Structure 1
């Protein structure tokens, strides 16, 4: 089927949009691109609701305002939600025309993620034709996934989260207590092993269930918190396996520096608390969004360290190699003084003694205050925004939980 070279009229919800026929081939909308490849009107009517050959007009019974925003995205490269329109409805329009959530602006993507996390939503009518058993199983898997992944999604999720936090606190407490001299007795260590085994068993079961019910297994393994979980679990199994293979009092066990390091890695469990506490979640989200500002802050510090350490080494030691300040004998040694001065920590383990060196030290401290303060504003605003977003999400989940409990 051939289309004329004149303008194509897209009639979307009663609103007309004039689009050149050649431009339709280049649009990032798969539905319109497929219209150009149709060989018959029957194929064409599978992609649109009606077609007027004389006027070369395509009719679509869709939301006109949503399509207007999509056309603005094509022209200007930024796709945002239509004001006063449900995010899920607009996302449904995007899927119809062939766009994905990745085409949205980051702020709108977060809003969409929040809405998608509120429930198990089907966007395609084909999913409604699946068997009842498959739908029920999918809903059950989604409920189980949310129970383990979202601590505020239900009363059971809160209960499991509380138990998980309890095991984390017990595990960290036992790890700290095991380094005390009074806890190194045979009987005490045996009780410690039992408690440790119970905690690891709970963590392993929790991690395995969350892996089994996850929708994307590869994405699950790549999540930072899940990687931390694996790093905290695996040392225990490596230690137990090594003990079983080499014996309790083997030379490897006695000199097992690596095993002690692996056991100490269980302190990573404290990061697991980020799943259950809003403050730690806000910190992690802020660091992820402000990585550019963090890199800029690191560059500022490195440049200042290079300048002030070289000048401090020259003024304190380089001008008098025999009787100069030996603490500044090298630039790397002076870098330590620069970093503790810029951060105003000032341990006092090394300090300038010459007048020029003290003037330089004052400039170093003042420069540190100014340089470190420059990116803080951006990081602060991002932290406030992240906290507000997570707070709104938590409040919404709490309201839904209260409503379900009342019913």
Structure 2
């Protein structure tokens, strides 16, 4: 009799000793013999004790159930399916055998759709490779995350892994066709909090596909500058254009670029000061027709500044690697908006002088000119090119458009409600300034924003109660979105300041046309002369005047060869 047959007979005999019928299903004898031996031994101990048999039998049944569940419940009480019916999966080099019925419980997932495919072409659309001979599906995915996916088919809930990035985990479960709604409650809070934290931390460094373009930050400018240098290859006058472009766009590149940045900033400040001084009575002039004209000194200063601004813009446009990208840059749009009012004013004044006597419709040209002159205040926005704080403010407003829109919505609702309430509370009073709802709009605006000019105020008791409620609601409405906007501005500003500090201490950027040096040759070029000098001095001290001149000559020849190799590479 063979060994497996002996063990099977022993197993059946032990089953009979504890009152179990002969099994009618195929069982895995090696895995269950130990279990039955433990149960038989425990049952024989119970029979020897002089206690009530029914209590011991209940206890024995409890032990029996516990051991069976632990040592092979599924193998003893259920027939295992044929291996040919199992689904063979190879995920990242790790093989799995899965019951197809378990996968089909979730028909929306990738594996369930894979089992329903009728052709090999349809199968290859859902997996990376397929072996018809072995009936094995290959997936080039993370094998660790796939364990969570398998657990999802068992439990119906997906559990996260702390050692895996939440965005990588999200991409993986999305690939397998599992929605985030299936996250287990124990992992859902942590998952979403971590995801929101990273999104909030990196809100200003996302790609253009994830968010619309904004005012360039220092980090974005540095990365974009390196990409722009690569675009000069193969372009006309590439070397000259890249040379000028670096000195105009990167103030920390060299001493010349710093001088250009300081000169540009000085011209902007001079233009702003001249515009402000022009409003003083001492500098206002009129012509023979009693029309206002500019002071000659201020006019010349204005023309010099505009000429420099125009020349700078044209040079930037000519040497830019991409004209379309250059014109779409918000900072360059600001430059155009600060220059155009001068030329528009000049054209209108010229037309007014030539046709004032013939065409009476040009009498109002002077008013248009005054409006265009006011637009010169936009030049102050040119400071954003040289100020981290202004760029941070512009980018914060751009990226916080949802919070800003929410703030305006809250204020609009509050203003509409409290303007109507204050109207009904004050309309019976004759001396009140809040007798209409439009006048209540102004009062509600300055009250909810806690400005409180004091030009209009309620006089009745009901009006003062409404004003109190308006102030309290204004504090709550304004404080909530402002906190979010301030946090974004603070993070953005601190990051830009840190990057700016690193840019100041970084070495000067090498031109892309410089020859390539191997690190090994550079190390040899630097260290070997030092070691050779030490060796030579030691030989001098030991040999005295008998030093061999050939050793020094060999060192010099090797040093020259090393330098030539480095220059060649």
Normalized against structure 1, the TM-score is what?
0.68
Q: CA deviation at 1:174?
A: 1.1
Pair 1:234-2:340 in alignment: yes
Corresponding residue of 2:223: 116
Structure 2 residue 246 is matched with structure 1 residue 149: no
Number of residue pairs matched?
335
Quote the RMSD (CA, aligned, Å): 4.4
CA distance 1:22–1:351, shift in 2 (3 Å):
same
Match of 1:350 among 456, 479, 486: 456
The verdict on how the C-alpha distance between 1:159 and 1:324 changes in structure 2, with shifts beyond 3 A counting, is same
Please report how far the alpha carbon of residue 297 of structure 1 lies from its aligned counterpart in structure 2 after TM superposition: 0.8
Judged with a 3 Å threshold, the aligned counterparts in structure 2 of structure 1 residues 282 and 221 are, in CA distance, closer, same or farther, namely same
- Say if 2:368 is the partner of 1:368: no
Give the structure 2 partner of residue 341 of structure 1: 447
Task: Measure the CA separation in 2 of the matches of 1:148 and 1:281.
Answer: 18
Q: From the superposition, tell whether residues 364 and 121 of structure 1 become closer, same or farther in structure 2 (CA, over 3 Å).
A: closer
User: Secondary structure at 2:264's aligned position in 1?
Assistant: helix
Deviations 1:218-249 (CA, angstroms, capped at 9, x unpaired): 33223333222212211211222233344289
- Quick one: structure 1 residues 401 and 173, their matched pair in 2 at CA, closer, same or farther if it must change by over 3 Å? farther
Question: How far is the alpha carbon of 1:334 from its aligned partner?
Answer: 0.4
SS of the aligned residue for 1:360 comes to helix
What does 1:25-40 align with in structure 2 at a 5 Å threshold?
Answer: 25=125
From the superposition, tell whether residues 71 and 197 of structure 1 become closer, same or farther in structure 2 (CA, over 3 Å): same
Q: Which runs of 5+ in 1 are unaligned?
A: 1-5, 36-52, 79-99
In structure 1, what is the equivalent of residue 275 of structure 2? Answer: 175
Match of 2:368 in 1: 258
- Return the offset for 1:148: 2.2
Aligned 8 A contact 1:340 1:346 in 2 = yes
CA distance in 1, matches of 2:304, 2:267: 9
Shift of 1:402: 6.6
Who is 1:75 aligned against? 172
The answer to whether residue 502 in structure 2 is matched with residue 396 in structure 1 is yes
Partner of 2:302: 196
Residue 269 (str. 1) matches residue 366 (str. 2): no
- 1:295 maps to 405
Cα displacement (A) at 1:8? 10
Shift of 1:348: 1.2
Q: Is the 8 A contact 1:315 1:357 kept in 2?
A: yes
Is the CA contact (8 Å cut-off) linking 2:228 and 2:321 kept in structure 1?
no
Contact 2:335 2:382 in 1 (8 A): yes
> Which residue does 2:349 correspond to in 1?
243
Instruction: Give the secondary structure class of the aligned counterpart of 1:349.
Output: coil
CA separation in 1, counterparts of 2:244 and 2:135?
A: 54
Of structures 1 and 2, the one with the larger relative CO (CA 8 A, separation 6+) is 1
Query: 2: CA distance between counterparts of 1:188 and 1:105?
Result: 45
CA contact (8 A) 1:153 1:397 kept: no
1:264 is displaced (CA, Å) by 1.6
Select the residue among 289, 311, 314 that pairs with 1:208: 314
Q: Aligned with 1:256: secondary structure?
A: helix
For the residues of structure 1 that align with 2:354 and 2:275, how far apart are their CA atoms? 19
Once residues 152 and 257 of structure 1 are traced to their aligned partners in structure 2, the CA distance between those partners, rounded to angstroms, is: 44
CA contact (8 A) 1:120 1:139 kept: no
- Asked whether the equivalents of residues 247 and 254 of structure 2 are also in contact (C-alpha less than 8 Å), the reply is yes
TM-score, normalising length: structure 2: 0.50
| 1:352 shift after superposition | 0.4
1:304-315, aligned counterparts within 5 Å?
304-315=414-425
Residues 1:191 and 1:156: Cα distance change in structure 2 (over 3 Å): same
- 1:56-95, aligned counterparts within 5 Å? 74-76=171-173
Residues 1:16 and 1:297: Cα distance change in structure 2 (over 3 Å) = same
